[in-house]
Structure 1
């Protein structure tokens, strides 16, 4: 006889399924639409982080998914709560990050009347997610939650939205848990690997580019060993720099924003480009200029876990439908004869990377953000996690900070503003023993700066660095290029960010000269409190290799 199943609410069944799927962290802004879930979470071994804005909660969940490869989970309330959270959903989509957002919904009896805060979630989120669903039948809650985990992690990972009608959650059910999900890996075939070996053997100027998601530490180690053995040069895609130790002698640099021109030239001159895991989107392809579309002149081998991405933009010479983990494991077993010309090219590329990133470029003003990044790379532990959002300030991170360990850079490839503070909170929750930095621009920070209150609430000793130049710098740069001298809507009036930190109960310091940064950082660490270091940046210091005034002058000269 079958054992009698215990009766429980649908909300309890949902939370039990989360536990069964290995969820350790949940981020939320509470809402009355899912109170039964909050009640069920109270008694489970899941760390719950209460946020100040749904966008922050969604970005925290996305950061967990990015760092671990397991779906990050957040709960938000219906209507305005869900739309607030959409920024995090978009990050997860463009960054190929597994994430599940549960959102409250009106009772089933009043649907289709535009009831209070009602939304059609399939219509609202359908273009941003891998799957959006609504649980109408409480008896199917464990089935559909299990499916959400498989969908979020399979192929090209991404976000899933699950709507929860308020009346469903309180109903009692007698259903079993679904088995815990397992990531479905796809492996390359022997024929494809042999064809790749032949392509490599005949290549004189090959370049391997690592990107995308679905990596792990073992795959990172295996690709490093393969590069060491064969001499093949390795580049990384935009904000995927932690897939390879930047100080490895085969590292050629990153194809992101403001990349080393010598690396871009190498990529364009390659006779074989092997793209592992990534999509070679707009930024890493330098505006789709590295390869012709749809038929590249360069031989392209594209390895991706999502079959729909193969041939989507570029028609590869060889397409391999495989996850990076399985592909790199197979690659490491290939008998590829090392070639001196590959090693020499990699040595030259690595020397170019070191020269490009070694010394901060001179800057207008008394605070040089490049010198700050160089100081950080030389003085913080190698396992420090640096989180940032979007803005020109990030150019100095990419240029001068060197990431040595796996998943020590958590940043959006979608270049979404306001990401750095929520991501840092998620990472400090995930790794309470490690140093976590949140690096932000002034406009960037205040899109989610209220989440600093959460760092104080949970006593998370994050060190937040704010580069304040009093404007939306990236937009001003483009504005001066296109409409020189006609400033509109890009100026900002900022608070005293150090005082802002103290008002929340954290530590604050202001840095007006580069030489003051080391002491401010030491004081922030010794305080043991969430901290903000407010850097006063000259507005003219717009990029590591350009000033705003010169960009304006060049634009005026063209008129």
Structure 2
């Protein structure tokens, strides 16, 4: 062998294959233990003079846009595109289900604030991924979806997994609309420059951006003859006019005001705290915005909406502010329940990057709408906002005392207390909660003091989002990510096997009660009988070990701390299977008070309302 080559074990080959085709590796001398390959630094990574394929050009331009991770499931129709991705500088993560890959891509984006890729083959690859991509759009992620579709000569001839207008609706899947901010089919290489200018522009703007590029199988291998554009992500964050800021200051200084913080304000945590402390304003937040304003701050009055705190309603009923400054939240159902009790006397000043948001949730309330990036707006507001002395004593979220335990099933509130101590306070892990009662327990009882450490989905709220998204978050942040999930979600869609393949430190804490308990408790509260929300009890530790991970089953409260500490120290995929008491009602004070204001009662003959409003 020459000095230009080095030895690598078979386990190391996968990362090298991302830079050099498998055929060239296999052509070198090897023995049973080692293959001989060129070191990365000895290779020419620049494109050769020869024309490159459309697939390679697409990947090159996505690299220019700063994308580092791609999540997906391959197939024959996208083999060339998959090969180009696999031989790029990106981390290419091969998942077990396209939906799981899409959820992972969403959470990888939020863990790093860098756009991500989802890749799938044609037909069912696309349809399987749609729910995760729907969540990406709803959550405000930046995700590029790469798929294959049937080549023009084969369309309408019943090709394998035919993906054309004959088999799938084009509107909304292959065109821009409610699902994708931008979508197109790449029919020839000449389209690439304008396609990628559009994508670069979309990624550069504040807020989310979800795009779909579908590339026919034959087009993937066609050659690009023209020069590709150089791309950047320099965006324009327009500054509100001085007149607009002056108008806001005038309204906010007419009387007491509160600040309602949403997930869209996550980049303005420092500025919001400065504004609150300068003005004495009470601060509340949506479930997704937990931690943007410290939850132990004396001016924090609680979380609104689903899983929220009764202290918010106490504040609105006893210290109604003149106005509320709404920052980066749509005030949708999970955040407000559209309760009229949340409408202040002087209305809202509603700031959002999306001009279609302000004034929609409460159309009859007086609203001053402002389109702006939240960080830019608050920075400008601080240049004119005067110092105000705080005069009121504000209510705060209360955590009820926990009575002594027994040797029976684990109470969810005790589990949350242990998670708070061991994980929230003892590590820097990202914690995410699945939809259902996992959401309400976690949102109500856990406390965070910094942005980016808590993740829930309130838009789509798909089961399976967190059980798979936790893998994407752990991979992207290269650190521990923890998912608090129900047994129903864990059975629906998990990627334990994927976590084992890449040895990522993902932890699943399963609230195992052998039922879809939000539905079970909700139907009981409504007085409805006969609906079946039970599922067979599953041993998730056995499942995890069958996939190559480890875990521990917890049946008593005294074992919780040790189990959590073991999972943290394990630093690889780990499942904590907690047998919880299904009779404990999920936290509902805040939402019940909000519903009471709307005339909804849960006693006698209850008004028929849909979950999770029960």
TM-score by shorter chain over 0.5: yes
SS at match of 1:340: coil
The alignment status of 1:411 with 2:456, answered yes or no, reads yes
How far off its partner does 1:249 sit? 2.4
3-state DSSP of counterpart to 2:511: strand
Q: Distance in 2 between matches of 1:68 and 1:334?
A: 33
Query: After superposition, what is the alpha-carbon deviation per residue over 1:361-420, rounded to whole angstroms, capped at 9, x for unaligned?
Result: 889953022122122222233522102221112222112211122211122122221111
Indicate the larger mover: 321-330 or 375-384.
375-384
Alignment of 1:259 with 2:308, yes or no, is yes
Give the equivalent residue in structure 1 for 2:146: 102
Larger radius of gyration: 2
TM-score normalised by structure 2 residue count: 0.81
- Contact 2:200 2:231 survives alignment (8 Å): no
Which residue among 416, 420, 432 is the counterpart of 2:466? Answer: 420
The residue number in structure 1 matching 2:100 is 56
2:372 counterpart (322, 325, 334): 322
- Deviations, residues 448-489 of structure 1 (Å, cap 9, x unaligned): 22x0111111111222100011111111122223343x2323
CA contact (8 A) 2:77 2:217 kept: yes
Q: Secondary structure at the match of 1:542?
A: coil
Distance 2:604 2:355 in 1: 48
1:306 paired to 2:357: no
Tell me the matched-pair count.
532
Distance, in Å, in 2 between the alignment partners of 1:301 and 1:12 is: 48
Q: What secondary structure, in the 3-state scheme, does the structure 2 residue paired with 1:283 have? A: helix
Cross-structure match for 1:30: 74
C-alpha deviation, 1:555, in angstroms: 6.7
| 1:308, distance to aligned residue in structure 2 (A) | 2.4
Could you tell me which of 260, 270, 274 is aligned with 2:321? 270
Secondary structure of the 2:450 match is: coil
Distance 1:336 1:79 in 2: 59
Give 3-state SS (helix, strand or coil) of 2:146's partner.
strand
Moved more, 259-268 or 298-307: 259-268
Partner of 2:120: 76
Q: Which residue of 2 aligns with 1:533?
A: 576
Long gaps (5+) in structure 1: 547-553
Q: Which residue of 2 aligns with 1:523?
A: 566
Q: Which moved more, 1:66-75 or 1:457-466?
A: 66-75
Q: Mean alpha-carbon deviation: is it higher for 161-170 or for 509-518? A: 161-170
Aligned to 1:437: 482
SS of 2:399's equivalent in the other structure is: helix
C-alpha RMSD of the superposition: 2.5
Give yes or no for the alignment of 1:223 onto 2:272.
yes
C-alpha distance in structure 2 between counterparts of 1:5 and 1:310, whole Å: 52
Normalising by the residue count of structure 1, what TM-score does the alignment of the two structures yield? 0.89
For 1:122, what is the secondary structure of its paired residue? coil
CA contact (8 A) 1:282 1:288 kept: no
> Which position in structure 2 is the counterpart of 1:147?
198
What is aligned with 2:184?
Answer: 133
The Cα of 1:59 is off from its aligned counterpart by: 0.6
Report the Cα distance in structure 2 between the residues aligned to 1:91 and 1:246, rounded to whole angstroms.
Answer: 27
Counterpart of 1:90 in structure 2 is 134
The answer as to whether partners of 1:142 and 1:178 remain within 8 angstroms in 2 is no
Which residue does the alignment assign to 2:211? 160
* CA drift at 1:507: 1.2
Checking the alignment, whether the CA contact within 8 Å between 2:108 and 2:477 is kept in structure 1 is no
Whether the 8 Å CA contact 2:359–2:367 is kept in 1: the answer is no
Q: Which residue matches 1:286? A: 337
Matches of 2:432 and 2:127 in 1, distance apart?
24
Alpha-carbon offset, residue 198 of structure 1: 0.7
Change (3 A) 1:491 1:309: same
Does 1:241 pair with 2:290? yes
Secondary structure of 1:445's counterpart equals helix
Aligned counterpart for 2:385 among listed residues 327, 331, 335 = 335
Per-residue deviation at 1:107? 0.5
1:146 and 1:178 in contact (8 A); partners too: no
Q: Deviations over 1:220-258 (max 9, x none)?
A: 112112222222221111221132221222222111313
Once the two structures are TM-superposed, the CA of residue 545 in structure 1 deviates from its matched residue by 5.9
Matches of 1:473 and 1:141, distance apart in 2: 49
Secondary structure (helix, strand or coil) at the match of 1:263 reads: helix
